Structure 1
Amino acid sequence: MSTLIHDLALVAAPSGVAVGVGVAAVYYRRRAAERLVRIHRLETQVRDGEQRVAARDEEAQYLAGNRLPALISALSRGEGGSHRGAGLLHPQLADTQTGTAYRDVLHQVAELTRAASERAEGAAGAAVQAVVRSLQSLINEQQVAVTALQDLKNDEDTLAITIPIDHASSQLARRAQVVGILTGMWPGRQRADTPLLETVRGGVSRIRDYPRVEINGEPAAYVAGRAVEPVVLAVAELLDNAARHSEPGTSVYVWFLEAHNGISIVIEDAGIGLAPEERERAARLLSGQDPVRITELRTPPRFGFLAIGQLATRYGFHVSVEQQSVHGGVRAVLHLPGTLLVAPPAPAFPAAAESVNTGQSVAPPAGHPYPVAEDGLPVRQRGHGSRLQPGIPAASPPPPGAGRHLAAFMRGTDSARTASTDQEQTS
């Protein structure tokens, strides 16, 4: 106001009052314009503040409704990933306190989720292992009881009942082994080096539809003892899968392919085959690269390919179902590298073996298990394979009606033993 009075005084002296009034009007118009600029600036600041508040509110809603669920879903699939500063609805908030706080929230949730998942997986694995060990103990007791019953009662009816029970027990034991493998358990006892053919037959003996399996070829190689049980389990799972996914009246074919770096066991069925997406998933499971988590298995769970993949990774063989069989089904290939194969053992007594077989043999009578010499005595022959260790399944499961023949054999053995004892007492 003092500036305005000074201006008016200078102007009013020569020009009069009218000029002073004009100067006052200019001054007030300038002040009004300045106030309008300040008002517009404040209005802009208010609008910017409201927009920032709205952006933070939207970001909070987006965090709760999108980013956190996406993070939990990724963790459940085993995809941890990095969520620092990524996925913001408003990227301009990335370097603000709000963006930093939201990144910290995601990091803490990820760490808590991983810790909870690891605890749940550990508890589930321990529970499964306890159940598997209990089942294996009960199965062993059952098999011992069945064997004792067969030794005690060797009549036809008893054997006809106990043989299917024993075979069902071996299948149950295999399923328990497979589940245990998924939790990191060891597949079984250490075995002696075993002929490859007997190893495959061991896998055949552990499936329900064993009569449908046809094996072609007699490879001379032996499987190293440390890999015998894993290969038996893997072959059994592949055969069981082939039999269950093909018509009951069809056969499952097994043959061998020798390569420069090992031998492949080829299993072919005439089933429905695999769709491309199923084939890709099977290849991923059989590779054994993805960690197995009991708490994340599909519903219903499918253990076979998962267990095979774990065995293949641990013991160094490779399994593939990427090809189609000539019958339109699946061709599964289990490749054993040379490191898992050993040469057949040399005969322990070659000279004795030569002297035993010096007699000229003739065709055996019908139903006689051994060739006979000219004097009618049986000629002993040394087998080419080694005796399997206890626990290795039979070369092939007994066919239907085997109880009748086994009972007759055991009755004949008892009769001969009784007659021999009587002669000794008489003499």
Structure 2
Amino acid sequence: MKRKRPSPRGSEGGSSVVFGALVAAALTALCTVAAVLLVAPRARGAVIVCGLVGAVAVGLACAEIRRRGHEIVQLRRRQAATEHELVRRLEMQEAETSRLAVEVLPAAISRLHRGDSVEEALSGSSQSPVLGAAFVKAHDDVVRSVLEAVKAEEDLRDSSQRAFVNVARRVQAIVHQQFQDLREMEERHGGSPDVFDDLLRLDHGTALIGRLADSLAVLGGSRPGRQWQQPVPLFNVLRGAMSRITDFQRVELHSVVELAIAGPTVEPLIHALAELLDNATRYSPPQTRVHMTAVEVQSGIAVEIEDGGVGLGEEARLRAERVLAEVRSGLDLADLGENPRLGLSVVGRLAQTHRFGVSLRPSAYGGVRAVLIIPRDLATAVPLSAADPGAAVRADLNKPMPAIALQPEEPQNIGINKNGLPQRRRATTAPLDGSQSQRSLAAPLPPRPAAPSPPMSSEAFAPAAPPPPPGLWLAAFQNAVSGEGASTEHAVTDDASSKEGE
């Protein structure tokens, strides 16, 4: 609001009043002189008296008019000054209110998010005392009310997230114990193919429950339960992500760059890829394949997941990217809704924490193409033991094996049991120690009547391996992706966090 400059009408009005009074006095004097000249001599005295009285009256009237005119001018000047001051204060209040909305409140809320108290956040919002104590107090009350409301909302969200994390930790502890029990049962019932196959199915279902518990922990601001201390090859990481979804048979793993992922990033990366793979298999026809590749790019490693499901329209793509952006800025559990879709929210939270880049684009197969970028500083060279896990086995095979001489089969002892039936007794097998080996090597072999045959290796006398039971491929698959075998020492279970959840 702009103030108009005061016009000089007051001074001009006072001058015109004075001029009018002088003209009136002059006219009165002229009229008096004319009347004196026109009347009879005996009446001139009365006319002169009347003229003088009239002139005095006109003079007094002119003086009063002049005084009042001057007073009016002063009042107008005072009014203009008051109006100017009011306009200035109004402009200052408008500017201060705009600053309150644009600068003061966001800065105070930002300090509140950094952990400051309400009073500490209020201390940084100073205002000019020229605006008046009442105005400053009103603005402080507004800022205080907003900060208290934001603090209450933050406390409610923090308590909800802590509840999420506590529930997730309890479930993770139960899942961890279930894994241990299943592994013991697998070792105990490994000779029964049917039981072993059922146990593997239970093991896979338990892994799915563990992934859901990890998702709840991630949404609550915590980390996944399992931690890795040594780098893990990217191939094992991708296989681990495949093992945590239901339709892992539909995923085809193509070319994978020979790099490893730093230990602290392994579990978050497995979880993020598992969520993307779960979306790809869930929203595509069951007869289609999901293709996954990992290539090295300028910024790091790009993991691409393509499916042949329902295409992603522009509106749906923008909505998905908005979900990822909102999660990066801060997740409110109330925004998940009654039927929450945790996949993108979990991926967004992990991407924010570990600097992953996630983008969704239309796929060449007609579905969705999800690209996850792993920063270059999170990748490292593949450890020698993980890059060639069969090196130690080949080294053992290349060692010279001790020669074992054939000994004649001992006659079997046949006895009679209490029912009168023949009973075959097992022959005892003595351990083959070094002295027995030397005696076997020193004992001469009996001459053979036939032509000598080519020497046979010790592998020919090894017992035949039993056929693999059904489901053994799934056990080997899970052992490989979980880092057991060649890289068992890399995995460290987060028991402390599980006990904390209890």
The TM tier, using the shorter chain, reads 0.5 to 0.7
Alignment deviations for residues 37-62 of structure 1 (CA, whole Å, 9 cap, x no partner): 968959x96xx99xx8xx99xx99xx
Alpha-carbon distance between aligned partners in 1 of 2:266 and 2:201, rounded to the nearest angstrom? 25
Which runs of 5 or more residues in structure 2 are unaligned? 1-24, 26-31, 33-44, 115-121, 386-390, 402-456, 466-479, 492-502
What is the identity, as a one-letter code, of the residue corresponding to 1:167?
Answer: H
CA separation of 1:324 and 1:378: change in aligned 2, threshold 3 A: farther
What is the identity, as a one-letter code, of the residue corresponding to 1:184?
Answer: G
Equivalent pair of 1:264/1:333 in contact (CA under 8 Å): yes
Aligned partner of 1:253 in structure 2 is 291
Aligned partner of 1:311 in structure 2 is 350
Match of 2:60 among 23, 27, 30: 27
Aligned partner of 2:50 in structure 1 is 17
Aligned partner of 1:134 in structure 2 is 170
1:389 aligns with 2:488: yes
Aligned partner of 1:121 in structure 2 is 157
* Partner secondary structure for residue 265 of structure 1: strand
Equivalent pair of 1:215/1:254 in contact (CA under 8 Å): yes
Alpha-carbon distance between aligned partners in 1 of 2:174 and 2:183, rounded to the nearest angstrom? 14
Equivalent pair of 2:233/2:382 in contact (CA under 8 Å): no
Give 1:350 deviation, angstroms. 6.1
Give 1:184 deviation, angstroms. 3.4
What is the identity, as a one-letter code, of the residue corresponding to 1:189?
Answer: Q
Alpha-carbon distance between aligned partners in 2 of 1:222 and 1:79, rounded to the nearest angstrom? 37
1:105 aligns with 2:141: yes
Alpha-carbon distance between aligned partners in 1 of 2:341 and 2:109, rounded to the nearest angstrom? 22
What is the identity, as a one-letter code, of the residue corresponding to 2:254?
Answer: N
* Partner secondary structure for residue 16 of structure 1: helix
Equivalent pair of 1:139/1:173 in contact (CA under 8 Å): yes
Give 1:16 deviation, angstroms. 0.5
Give 1:391 deviation, angstroms. 10
CA separation of 1:276 and 1:163: change in aligned 2, threshold 3 A: same
* Partner secondary structure for residue 308 of structure 1: helix
CA separation of 1:290 and 1:36: change in aligned 2, threshold 3 A: farther
What is the identity, as a one-letter code, of the residue corresponding to 1:335?
Answer: I
Aligned partner of 2:242 in structure 1 is 204
1:331 aligns with 2:369: yes
Alignment deviations for residues 130-183 of structure 1 (CA, whole Å, 9 cap, x no partner): 111111112223333444454555656645654443322211211211221233
Equivalent pair of 2:359/2:372 in contact (CA under 8 Å): no
Equivalent pair of 2:256/2:295 in contact (CA under 8 Å): no
TM value normalised by structure 1: 0.62
Alpha-carbon distance between aligned partners in 2 of 1:158 and 1:269, rounded to the nearest angstrom? 34
Give 1:267 deviation, angstroms. 0.6
Alpha-carbon distance between aligned partners in 2 of 1:289 and 1:133, rounded to the nearest angstrom? 22
Give the structure with higher Rg (CA): 2
Give 1:203 deviation, angstroms. 0.6
Equivalent pair of 2:328/2:348 in contact (CA under 8 Å): no
Match of 2:384 among 345, 367, 388: 345
Which runs of 5 or more residues in structure 1 are unaligned? 1-6, 87-93, 358-371, 393-427
1:242 aligns with 2:280: yes
CA separation of 1:253 and 1:378: change in aligned 2, threshold 3 A: farther
Alignment deviations for residues 89-113 of structure 1 (CA, whole Å, 9 cap, x no partner): xxxxx96436534432332233323
Match of 1:165 among 199, 202, 209: 202
What is the identity, as a one-letter code, of the residue corresponding to 1:198?
Answer: N
Match of 1:233 among 271, 286, 290: 271
Give 1:280 deviation, angstroms. 4.5
* Partner secondary structure for residue 328 of structure 2: coil
Give 1:258 deviation, angstroms. 3.1
Counting matched residue pairs gives 346
Equivalent pair of 1:215/1:255 in contact (CA under 8 Å): yes
CA separation of 1:378 and 1:162: change in aligned 2, threshold 3 A: closer
Alignment of 1:74-113 (within 5 A): 96-97=131-132, 99-113=135-149
Alpha-carbon distance between aligned partners in 1 of 2:288 and 2:350, rounded to the nearest angstrom? 29
Equivalent pair of 2:260/2:381 in contact (CA under 8 Å): yes
Aligned partner of 2:251 in structure 1 is 213
Alpha-carbon distance between aligned partners in 1 of 2:400 and 2:135, rounded to the nearest angstrom? 89
Identity of aligned residues (%): 26
CA separation of 1:39 and 1:169: change in aligned 2, threshold 3 A: farther
What is the identity, as a one-letter code, of the residue corresponding to 1:110?
Answer: V
* Partner secondary structure for residue 303 of structure 2: strand
- Provide the aligned C-alpha RMSD in A: 5.2
TM value normalised by structure 2: 0.54
1:195 aligns with 2:233: yes
CA separation of 1:135 and 1:298: change in aligned 2, threshold 3 A: same
Equivalent pair of 1:287/1:313 in contact (CA under 8 Å): no
Equivalent pair of 2:328/2:349 in contact (CA under 8 Å): no
Alignment of 1:23-62 (within 5 A): 23-24=56-57, 27-28=60-61, 31=64
Segment of structure 1 superposing worse, 232-241 or 279-288: 279-288
What is the identity, as a one-letter code, of the residue corresponding to 2:160?
Answer: A
Alpha-carbon distance between aligned partners in 2 of 1:152 and 1:233, rounded to the nearest angstrom? 30
* Partner secondary structure for residue 250 of structure 1: coil
